[in-house]
């Protein structure tokens, strides 16, 4: 089950279980994967935050709208029998974003095959890239990540003598191609944004030519999001 923020009330927990199962069913039925679902409350308003992923491509606003409409109509059919949904609530459907921080085993496995940016507590044998590098996430199991295609994080040039010396040491060492890293050694693991790929996906989705824009250094990294508020 995806991560969820559950209230302590027993009836609320039962409602959350039903809505989580329903959400999983709706999301999968529309061709997406459920990354996570969070339940919360702001004042009297209940909040349901859902993150979806498309293994075959990106998640656009139209995808979020599609999931939101279908899920809202399905929840409406059972809302009267669920104490959690008495009164107003907000349904929020979003994409993961291109640089999402991964926080659960479900996400580690869901994003297998993707490029990730990794920060480690100590040297894990990733030389010559140090404790901050990018890699392809090949698999996760037994509390261990299997990585390949390791590479350096692109950073701004510096005139520091120490930095130049460190860079020279990196060049002199044999690049690491494959590596296993224990989960306990990870400070943070997040999706690494492939901006060229992102522009191509946007161009395909909107059926427009973005070839002139591929040289841009910035892209909107915020997740696509749709909110539905009901009284």
Q: What is the CATH number of the domain that holds 111?
A: 2.30.30.100
* Shared-domain flag, residues 90 and 147: no
3-state secondary structure of 160: coil
* Shared-domain flag, residues 45 and 83: yes
> Is residue 3 situated within a structural domain?
no
Model pLDDT, residue 213: 45
| Alpha-carbon span 72 to 54, nearest angstrom | 20
Q: Which residue has the higher pLDDT, 127 or 139?
A: 139
Q: How many domains are there within the chain?
A: 2
| Alpha-carbon span 120 to 116, nearest angstrom | 13
* Shared-domain flag, residues 82 and 37: yes
Q: Per-residue confidence at 208, pLDDT binned at 50, 70, 90?
A: very low
> Is residue 57 situated within a structural domain?
yes
Residues 91-109 have pLDDT tens digits of: 899 999 889 999 999 999 9
* Shared-domain flag, residues 118 and 175: yes
* Shared-domain flag, residues 141 and 118: yes
Q: Which of 66-70, 75-79, 81-85, 145-149 has the lowest mean pLDDT?
A: 81-85
> Is residue 134 situated within a structural domain?
yes
pLDDT score of 157 more than 60 = no
* Shared-domain flag, residues 127 and 184: yes
| Alpha-carbon span 85 to 229, nearest angstrom | 12
Q: Which residue has the higher pLDDT, 225 or 218?
A: 225
* Shared-domain flag, residues 26 and 76: yes
* Shared-domain flag, residues 91 and 121: no
* Shared-domain flag, residues 89 and 22: yes
* Shared-domain flag, residues 89 and 23: yes
Sheet of 115-120, strand order: 178-182, 144-152, 132-141, 115-120, 186-191
Q: What percent of the chain has pLDDT over 70?
A: 70
- In terms of residue numbers, what domain contains 19? 10-97+222-230
> Is residue 179 situated within a structural domain?
yes
Mean pLDDT taken over the chain: 79
> Is residue 170 situated within a structural domain?
yes
Q: What is the CATH number of the domain that holds 54?
A: 3.30.300.70
> Is residue 117 situated within a structural domain?
yes
Backbone phi and psi for residue 157, each to the nearest 5 degrees, phi listed first: -65, 150
Beta bridge partners of 116: 135, 191
Q: Which of 39-43, 54-58, 78-82 has the lowest mean pLDDT?
A: 78-82
* Shared-domain flag, residues 64 and 90: yes
* Shared-domain flag, residues 120 and 90: no
pLDDT score of 115 more than 90 = yes
> Is residue 45 situated within a structural domain?
yes
pLDDT score of 221 more than 90 = no
> Is residue 199 situated within a structural domain?
no
The answer to whether the pTM exceeds 0.75 is no
């Amino acid at each position: 089950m995806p991560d969820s923020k559950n209230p302590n009330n027993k009836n609320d927990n039962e409602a959350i279980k039903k809505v989580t199962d329903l959400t999983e069913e709706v999301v999968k039925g529309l061709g997406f994967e459920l990354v996570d679902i969070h339940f919360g409350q702001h004042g009297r308003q209940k909040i349901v935050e859902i993150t979806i992923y498309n293994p075959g491509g990106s998640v656009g606003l139209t995808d979020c709208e599609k999931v939101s409409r279908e899920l809202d109509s399905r929840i409406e059919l059972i809302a009267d029998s669920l104490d959690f949904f008495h009164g107003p609530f907000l349904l929020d459907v979003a994409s993961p974003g291109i640089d999402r921080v991964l926080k659960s085993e479900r996400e580690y496995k869901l994003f297998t095959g993707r490029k990730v940016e990794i920060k480690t507590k100590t040297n894990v044998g990733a030389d010559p890239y140090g404790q901050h590098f990018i890699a392809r996430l090949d698999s996760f199991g037994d509390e261990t990540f299997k990585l390949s295609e390791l590479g350096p994080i692109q950073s701004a040039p510096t005139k520091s003598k120490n930095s130049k010396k460190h860079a020279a040491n990196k060049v002199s060492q044999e690049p690491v191609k494959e590596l296993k890293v224990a989960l306990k050694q990870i400070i943070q693991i997040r999706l690494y944004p492939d901006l060229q790929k992102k522009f191509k996906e946007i161009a395909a989705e909107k059926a427009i030519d973005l070839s002139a824009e591929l040289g841009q250094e910035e892209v909107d990294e915020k997740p696509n999001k749709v909110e539905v508020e009901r009284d």
